[in-house]
Amino acid sequence: MRGFEPEYVDIVDYIARITHRIWEEKEIGYIYDTYRHNARVTDDYGLQYGRDKIVADTVHTLNAFPDARLYADEIVWAGDDVSGFHTSHRTVIVGTNTGFSKYGPPTGRRVVVWCIANCVALENEIFEEHVIYNNSSLIVQLGLDLRDTARAFGNQAAELRPPIEQRFGEAERVLGQGKPAHLPALDENKFSYQDFLRRSYHYIWNWRNVGKVDDAYTANFRFHGPTGREFFGRGEYKSFVLSLLATFPDLSLTVDDVYGMGNPEDGYLTSTRWSAVGTHRGFGIYGQPTGRRVYLWGVTQHRIVNGRITEEWMMFNEFEVMQQIYRDDPFSSPAA
């Protein structure tokens, strides 16, 4: 642990204990010691640059939920103290809304919200973080109307944007009149969870080969997703994949980062950060097609045993996706 405070025995200990100290012991100023001054944090609302914004956001959340408790479900890690440690921290947050927040006055509601924070740390400082909260579930638990809240936040964000004419071409899943690219063949003599996950994402989402779920997932697979989604078995998961592909017919997904820990005997715990673009031209849970171009991003943790996924925790920016769809934005693309 070169450059880290001597009390931390490893990177898992560091992540778990600084989270407890900042959030539960409310030593918010410890952020100045554990985040770099120019830290880049990407969340549901975009890029937050600099640790002062991190301090302000932490104060805001603790003011809204003063009794907040954070429970670490899992910390997946990779890397070292030379190039940097990569961690994927899955956390359950429990608290009571007794203070004002960006969602309005206190509701007195008790909430249980989970999130995943992917961080890169070196010499006792986090310098990059991708954190995704189950904000859509939080809003529902606060007793607010999810669509109305998304529309209000989307309109507010649109008012802050300059009046730039938006233009975009085809999502780069199928170039020209071709077909999706094939990935190189796997080495059948050695299992690589990185190759396995990249191929699974590519052929299920970009090729629309939903039947490949049977190859990648066990029959008793469990899924945990945003806004209260809980699935058991491959059939429910296939239906979920089809629902997103039907809503965004040109969806194009890219795997941005993959790392994990484990071994062939005991299995692997992994973290995959991904992003996607698509156009809201299909019917689904988001209502009538609007023709809006939508950006999605998320972090997914997997448990892989004997070459197949047995459990998945997927969090993506669903509340922000709904803002992009529902906002009354004159600069958005017309319905198609």
Averaged pLDDT, 284-304: 95
Phi, psi at 129, each rounded to 5°: -150, 135
Question: Do 127 and 218 belong to one domain?
Answer: no
Q: Is the pLDDT of residue 161 over 80?
A: no
Q: Is residue 46 part of a domain?
A: yes
Domain boundary among 109, 144, 179: 144
Pairing of strands 308-316, 217-224: parallel
- Check residue 333 and give its pLDDT: 45
| Helical axes 146-160 vs 318-326, angle rounded to 10° | 70
Question: Do 280 and 201 belong to one domain?
Answer: yes
Q: What percent of the chain has pLDDT over 90?
A: 86
CATH code of the domain in which 262 resides:
3.10.450.50
Q: 227-279: per-residue pLDDT in tens?
A: 999 999 999 999 999 999 999 999 999 999 999 999 999 999 999 999 999 99
CA distance 291 to 61: 34
| Cross-strand pairs, 110 | 96
Q: Is residue 64 part of a domain?
A: yes
Question: Do 110 and 202 belong to one domain?
Answer: no
Question: Do 138 and 208 belong to one domain?
Answer: no
Q: Is residue 160 part of a domain?
A: no
Instruction: Decide if 150 contacts 316 (C-beta within 8 A).
Output: no
Q: Letter for the amino acid at 186?
A: L
- Check residue 157 and give its pLDDT: 83
Count of domains observed in the chain:
2
Question: Do 198 and 138 belong to one domain?
Answer: no
**Alpha carbon distances (Å) from 180 to 51, 125, 199:** 41, 40, 12
Q: Is residue 83 part of a domain?
A: yes
- Check residue 13 and give its pLDDT: 98
Phi, psi at 195, each rounded to 5°: -65, -40
Q: Which helix (H) or strand (E) segment is 321 a member of?
A: helix 318-326
Instruction: Decide if 60 contacts 102 (C-beta within 8 A).
Output: yes
What value does the CA radius of gyration of the chain take, rounded to a whole number of Å? 20
pTM as predicted: 0.94
Question: Do 126 and 21 belong to one domain?
Answer: yes
Q: Is residue 254 part of a domain?
A: yes
Domain interval for residue 254: 193-326
Kindly indicate the confidence band of residue 335, based on its pLDDT and cuts at 50, 70 and 90: very low
Question: Do 18 and 137 belong to one domain?
Answer: yes
The half-sphere exposure of 91 on its side-chain side, counting CA atoms within 13 A, is 22
Domain boundary among 114, 144, 174: 144
- Check residue 336 and give its pLDDT: 37
Q: Is residue 45 part of a domain?
A: yes
Kindly indicate the confidence band of residue 329, based on its pLDDT and cuts at 50, 70 and 90: low
Domain boundary among 118, 144, 170: 144
Q: Is residue 184 part of a domain?
A: no
Q: Is residue 279 part of a domain?
A: yes
